[in-house]
A and B are shown apart, each in its own frame.
Chain A
Amino acid sequence: EVQLVQSGAEVKKPGESLKISCKASGYSFTYNWIGWVRQMPGKGLEWMGIIYPRDSDTRYSPSFQGQVTISADKSISTAYLQWSGLKASDTAMYYCARLTSGCGDFWGQGTLVTVSS
């Protein structure tokens, strides 16, 4: 059974750094792209970026380029999304998803990130 399990909710202050995770199981992690999606409170879905774990080829949506870093550790089948200096506007739910032909066919449960002073 394919599963993506994300790390738990986080409460951070502006300027702090954060790394959240997405652990995959039930399939060969290296051979599917993994993507991260942001959903701000009461808003729609936005693809942030994607990574191919086999060679760590990473692509970012223009809105998120330089704002976040996406990485993966294929030895533990885990993808990561990290920030070096959080802003209040980063408050959102973040989802990871396995991609097949560009579609998210399996999703993590989401990680709520709250940034507040």
Chain B
Amino acid sequence: DIQMTQSPSSVSASVGDRVTITCRASQDISTWLAWYQQNPGKAPKLLIYAASSLQSGVPSRFSGSGSGTDFTLTISSLQPEDFASYYCQQSYTFPYTFGQGTKLEIK
């Protein structure tokens, strides 16, 4: 299986801050990488697919980059509704695998 490693596992930030979360794959996955947001008690929501494509309806403050094994999710200016958990997921080959998650907390 392809292992996905996210960092950090948690981060504290303030409204208006710029935040970057990284994800590393254990092998080359080209751009087969997605990012999800999950609020407590809710289903995950797809934010980014194909490493850098913004899912319909997702605010433009979210952006993704990377290819191969190293990827980033950036939130350019944090809004109150962005404090949630974030997961990366490789869709290069099944079994698809998620990173362990990053919890974004209010400072």
Contacts and interface: CB of A to CB of B under 8 A. Distances in A.
Nearest to A65: B95
Nearest to A50: B94
Contacts of A45: 36, 38, 44, 87, 89, 98, 101
A44 B97 CA distance: 11
A110 B39 CA distance: 13
Interface stretch (A8-16, A78-86, A96-104): A96-104
A29 interface: no
Q: Is the interface of B mostly helix, strand, loop or mixed?
A: loop
B99 to A, nearest CB: 8
Interface string B23-36: 00000000010101
Interface in A86-117: 95, 97, 100-105, 107-110
Report the contact-size class of chain A (Cβ under 8 Å from the partner): 20 to 34
A37 B101 CA distance: 14
A62 interface: yes
Given A44-B100, A47-B97, A61-B95, A101 B50 contact: yes
Interface in A53-74: 59-62
Interface string B77-107: 0000000000101011011111111000000
Contacts of A104: 34, 36, 44, 46, 89
Q: Please name the 9 residue pairs, one residue from A and one from B, whose CB atoms are nearest each other, closest first.
A: A102-B91, A61-B95, A107-B43, A103-B34, A45-B98, A44-B101, A47-B96, A103-B49, A105-B46
Given A35-B96, A47-B97, A107-B44, 8 more contacts: A45-B101, A47-B98, A62-B95, A97-B43, A102-B34, A104-B44, A104-B89, A110-B43
11 contacts: A37-B44, A44-B98, A44-B100, A44-B101, A50-B94, A60-B95, A95-B43, A101-B49, A103-B91, A104-B44, A110-B43
